[in-house]
Structure 1
Amino acid sequence: MKIALVAESFLPHTNGVTHSLLRVLDHLAARGDDAVVIAPEAPGAPDRVGDAPVVHVPAVGWPGYRDVRVATRGVRTLARVLERTAPDVVHLASPFVLGWAAVRAAAAVRVPAVAVYQTDVPSYAAAYGAPWGEPLLWNRVRSIHTAADLTLAPSTAAIAQLGALGVDRLALWPRGVDTVRFDPSRRDAALRARWAPGGEVVVGYVGRLAPEKRVGDLARIARMPGVRVVVIGEGPEGARLRRRVPEAEFAGFLGGGELARAVASLDVMVHPGELETFGQSVQEALAAGVPVIAPRAGGPVDLIRHGENGFLYAPGRLDQMAHAVQSLVDDPYLRLLMGAHARVSVEGRTWPRVCATLVDHYRAVTAPTGAHR
């Protein structure tokens, strides 16, 4: 097959959408399929990734977020690109602005479109001080996904969310995890000694430092005796969080082997965000043998088996979060047992398996009896 992957964001900006697309590109290349990436232009953006060319669409930066690029071209431009590249299927990665133009362009040139729901953009409106915008944003989400031939959602919570909007033609497609890179064997005693020289239990967070992630909730546990909080990541809230949680170690942005080593060196992970459609950093921590504590909301509900590989707490109940942390601080045997269960719980979620399922979805919409209308 030939697949056009329309990316709302792409290299050199790294995030969950980019990471997933790179794994999909690896899988398609290994199968011998052809792929082309269509993404907003950005300084330093590559013209190719492996064998896949990258078509850059004119874009502008989002005010205050230089890494966020918003495409400025519409349906006609995208239709011309699709006519020129002639794909069998269009893959819409976390569609919103560019994806809205692309799903209509795909319909115009009669190419089936698979929309991959990945980011709960509308719910971010309140976190960023614009709750009035949430209904408008949900209208855009509904319009995109009802226009697509198939929508792939990463969790049961996301499927329920989209179903409540009136989106049909839904299927579950979770994310994969690199179980070689994220492995308990990456645990580093020297790094732990630097983080916790007094032998404290290392409780970490991994992800963007942004309002919707609720990283400030970690202040509740940062002063607990015997605990050292480590925050891995960067973002617009970085400076404010350093002031709010001065007891924490802020490791900054880490990638590659550095990230894998850091994650495996945690004793417990707390992911306080309540708007996760999936929770990739949760899955990576589990693969590294780290029990995870998170709100009972969104994607983490599918990943965390309460009392087995971590704990779930009621959204907003920071007392429950602190109690869960305390139980793992007090009981090293329980941490060890939950860590072992954590690793086993995600061992079957490899990217090759997940991407093989994605190809099956491509086949379904391109078949004569598929979802394409």
Structure 2
Amino acid sequence: MVAECFLPQINGVANTVRHVADRLLARGHELLIIAAGPGPDTYNGVRVLRARSFGIPGYKEIPVGLPDPAIERAMAEFKPDLVHLAAPFVLGAYGLRSARRLGVPTVAVFQTDLAGFARQYPWFAKADRGCWAWIRRIHSRCDRTLAPSSSAVAQLVQEGVPRVHHWGRGVNLDLFDPSHRLEAWRREISPDGKPIVGYVGRLAAEKKVKRLAELSELDCHLVVVGDGPDRASLETLLPNATFLGMRRGTDLASIFAGLDLFVHTGEHETFCQTIQEAQASGVATVGPAAGGPLDLIRPGETGLLFEPGKADSLRQAVSHLLDNPDLRTAMAAAGRRRVQTRTWPAVVDDLVDRHYAEVLAGIATVRRAA
């Protein structure tokens, strides 16, 4: 597995790689993980080869891996049957090159809307077409590309990427569960008993967290979980919100379960795992009518969608659910039911038994360079 992000980073790419690795190990497969940046050199007994890396403005804590001849040497020594490329861009492109030179089939997982993110930063604003050209070049040379949502599949096809298939994401139903709701925490956060509305995620421009300012006049208490370069400006913009910083594990699970409503603000999500975690926690959800949330939220059944470009759309959606607690409760229960079959073991089994198996059988693959 070649991963643009892995532990100690905590994000969608790193978490997916971790869950895939866990299940592959449980099924008896042998692994080698190649990842960017400093970090542990083993994971659950698996060697993690760390590539040289650098940080980019606004994302210095997320390393960008550099080409390294040691990667191909390690790959040749390991003799893999298949190379899994997690969100390939820089390190992944070199991993792809190495795999093709070695004649090893590849499965690439598209997981990050890099072009959409680039448009949010002045120094990358004009790089979106270049990003897509590079993404198309990488994925066109892979035997199969997997995308986590119908929106991401359509986007890749529109950009000319061939052999694109849908592969979703799992959720830990034991960790994210309504039983982790703590009334003591709720009283601490909202002593006056107002509904608690929460956001969980990176505090950065592409997440559009500043949209939470639309909720400032609503009768609720706002909780913001996560960290990032925009935290200071958001604390100024949202003086009445409670900022809890980065939370993980059971601590994060109890926060999710303690919410009355979960809101995701940004439209550049290829999936949006936090919506799925909120649903597993038995919480109604509000998200943008764009990207991954379109697959996760059934409007009127498990939550509501807002129009990202329409003023007051987010506020209206949240206000409607705050005014209708019975509807929130029904949506929360429906959301929990919707994710019951989306366990990580089931999702990774589908990856192995369908996608890996078909690529290894030579179904719809590319001819690799010798």
**CA 217–64 in structure 1, closer or farther in 2 if over 3 Å, else same:** closer
**Rounded Cα–Cα distance in structure 2 between residues aligned with 1:65 and 1:299:** 22
Counterpart of 1:144, as a letter, is I
Give the secondary-structure state (helix, strand or coil) at the position aligned to 1:166. Answer: coil
**Rounded Cα–Cα distance in structure 2 between residues aligned with 1:137 and 1:332:** 44
- Bigger shift: 161-170 or 58-67? 58-67
- Residue 78 (structure 1) shift: 3.1
Q: Which residue of 2 aligns with 1:121?
A: 114
The one-character-per-residue Cα deviations of 1:173-209 (angstroms, maximum 9, x if unpaired) are 0110001100111111111111111111111101000
Match for residue 21 of structure 2 among 22, 25, 30:
25
Counterpart of 1:95, as a letter, is P
**Rounded Cα–Cα distance in structure 1 between residues aligned with 2:130 and 2:305:** 31
Give the secondary-structure state (helix, strand or coil) at the position aligned to 1:91. Answer: strand
- Residue 222 (structure 1) shift: 2.2
**Rounded Cα–Cα distance in structure 2 between residues aligned with 1:274 and 1:47:** 35
Whichever structure has more strand as a proportion of its residues is 1
Q: Which residue of 2 aligns with 1:166?
A: 160
Counterpart of 2:126, as a letter, is W
1:73 equivalenced with 2:81 (yes/no)? no
1:150 equivalenced with 2:136 (yes/no)? no
- Residue 41 (structure 1) shift: 3.0
Give matches, 1:51-130, under 5 Å: 51-74=45-68, 76-129=69-122, 130=124
**CA 70–31 in structure 1, closer or farther in 2 if over 3 Å, else same:** same
- Residue 72 (structure 1) shift: 2.2
- Residue 79 (structure 1) shift: 2.5
Match for residue 334 of structure 1 among 327, 341, 361:
327
Counterpart of 1:287, as a letter, is A
Q: Which residue of 1 aligns with 2:210?
A: 216
Counterpart of 1:247, as a letter, is N
1:48 equivalenced with 2:47 (yes/no)? no
**Rounded Cα–Cα distance in structure 2 between residues aligned with 1:189 and 1:318:** 34
Q: TM-score, normalised by structure 2?
A: 0.96
- Bigger shift: 118-127 or 52-61? 52-61
- Residue 210 (structure 1) shift: 0.5
- Bigger shift: 358-367 or 154-163? 358-367
Counterpart of 2:86, as a letter, is A
**Rounded Cα–Cα distance in structure 2 between residues aligned with 1:138 and 1:77:** 28
- Residue 372 (structure 1) shift: 4.5
1:241 equivalenced with 2:237 (yes/no)? no
The one-character-per-residue Cα deviations of 1:210-258 (angstroms, maximum 9, x if unpaired) are 101011100110221x211110111110001000111111111100000
- Does the 8 Å contact 1:117/1:152 carry over to 2? yes
**Rounded Cα–Cα distance in structure 2 between residues aligned with 1:368 and 1:153:** 20
**CA 318–200 in structure 1, closer or farther in 2 if over 3 Å, else same:** farther
Counterpart of 2:200, as a letter, is V
**Rounded Cα–Cα distance in structure 2 between residues aligned with 1:127 and 1:60:** 20
**Rounded Cα–Cα distance in structure 1 between residues aligned with 2:167 and 2:234:** 34
Q: Which residue of 2 aligns with 1:10?
A: 6
Match for residue 299 of structure 1 among 292, 296, 299:
292
- Does the 8 Å contact 2:141/2:366 carry over to 1? no
1:278 equivalenced with 2:271 (yes/no)? yes
The one-character-per-residue Cα deviations of 1:128-156 (angstroms, maximum 9, x if unpaired) are 12321111111111011101100000000
Match for residue 362 of structure 1 among 349, 356, 361:
356
Taking only the aligned residue pairs, the percentage that are identical comes to 45
Give the secondary-structure state (helix, strand or coil) at the position aligned to 2:40. Answer: coil
Q: Which residue of 1 aligns with 2:189?
A: 195
The one-character-per-residue Cα deviations of 1:275-301 (angstroms, maximum 9, x if unpaired) are 000000010001101111111000000
- Residue 104 (structure 1) shift: 1.6
- Bigger shift: 58-67 or 232-241? 58-67
Match for residue 345 of structure 2 among 349, 352, 355:
352
- Does the 8 Å contact 1:365/1:372 carry over to 2? no
Give the secondary-structure state (helix, strand or coil) at the position aligned to 1:35. Answer: coil
**Rounded Cα–Cα distance in structure 2 between residues aligned with 1:91 and 1:368:** 16
Moved runs in structure 1, 4+ residues, more than 6 A?
Answer: none
- Residue 265 (structure 1) shift: 0.4
- Residue 63 (structure 1) shift: 4.1
**CA 161–197 in structure 1, closer or farther in 2 if over 3 Å, else same:** same
**Rounded Cα–Cα distance in structure 2 between residues aligned with 1:31 and 1:318:** 49
**Rounded Cα–Cα distance in structure 2 between residues aligned with 1:352 and 1:126:** 35
Q: Which residue of 2 aligns with 1:204?
A: 198
1:39 equivalenced with 2:32 (yes/no)? no
- Residue 368 (structure 1) shift: 4.3
Structure 2: tracts of 5 or more residues without a match: none
- Residue 12 (structure 1) shift: 1.2
Q: TM-score, normalised by structure 1?
A: 0.95
- Does the 8 Å contact 1:294/1:313 carry over to 2? yes
Q: Which residue of 1 aligns with 2:131?
A: 137
1:321 equivalenced with 2:314 (yes/no)? yes
Q: Which residue of 2 aligns with 1:261?
A: 254
The one-character-per-residue Cα deviations of 1:11-65 (angstroms, maximum 9, x if unpaired) are 11111111111111110111000011001231xx111111311111122233453
